[in-house]
């Protein structure tokens, strides 16, 4: 009925258990890699925000020289950064506006929730929420700010009070 060596034959291939173990290991490794990629993606977005805002400083200096040594003949009072050109201040410049819009896009926030700008005759400042921003009171920087006096710094929300991006700029300079 059965061949003589039927019970002693070696089977070729893998058992179901072996295949399931290998698939589980691959799944675990894939989830670890995906977590690392998300962190790297967020850090890259923060670098893009910082780079865009650094470009604003150069373009604002050119604007200052080309427009009678003022950053604004029409003040842009402290508030949400513009997403379309304004008149009479540095936010009318396409390069500046593009850099700010690019930074806001990288942050993943809307302009209203993640940015603050001010432009006066003799000073300006721009702050944008970082993609990896922490929560109030921790040590992780929440926003990046650049201004006309050369500041280019992270801003971390304090634990006391409901601080937001609005607090990143003090008057017309980056808050410490």
Name the residue range of residue 170's domain: 15-174
The model carries a pTM of 0.80
For the four alpha carbons of 157, 112, 99 and 94, in that order, the dihedral sign comes to: negative
Residue 7 lies inside a defined structural domain of this protein: no
Split into its structural domains, the chain has a count of 1
Residue 6 lies inside a defined structural domain of this protein: no
Q: Which of 33-37, 38-42, 82-86, 116-120 has the highest mean pLDDT?
A: 116-120
CB distance 22 to 114 below 8 Å: no
Q: Which residues contact 12 (CB under 8 A, 6 or more apart)?
A: none
pLDDT 10s digits, 53-105 = 999 999 999 999 999 999 999 999 999 999 899 999 999 999 999 999 999 99
């Amino acid at each position: 009925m059965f061949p003589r060596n039927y019970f002693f034959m070696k089977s070729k291939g893998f058992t179901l258990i072996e295949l399931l173990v290998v698939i589980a290991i691959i799944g675990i490794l894939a989830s670890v890699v995906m977590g690392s990629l998300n962190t790297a993606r967020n850090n890259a977005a923060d670098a893009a925000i910082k780079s865009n805002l650094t470009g604003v400083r150069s373009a604002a200096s050119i604007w200052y020289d080309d427009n009678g040594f003022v950053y604004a003949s029409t003040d842009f009072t402290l508030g949400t950064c513009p997403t379309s050109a304004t008149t009479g201040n540095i936010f009318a410049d396409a390069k500046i506006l593009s850099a700010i819009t690019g930074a806001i896009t990288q942050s993943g926030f809307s302009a209203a929730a993640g940015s603050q700008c001010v432009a006066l005759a003799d000073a300006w400042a721009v702050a944008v929420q970082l993609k990896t921003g922490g929560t109030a009171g921790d040590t992780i920087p929440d926003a990046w700010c650049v201004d006309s006096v050369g500041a280019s710094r992270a801003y971390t929300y304090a634990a006391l009070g409901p601080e937001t991006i609005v607090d990143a700029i003090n008057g017309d300079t980056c808050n410490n």
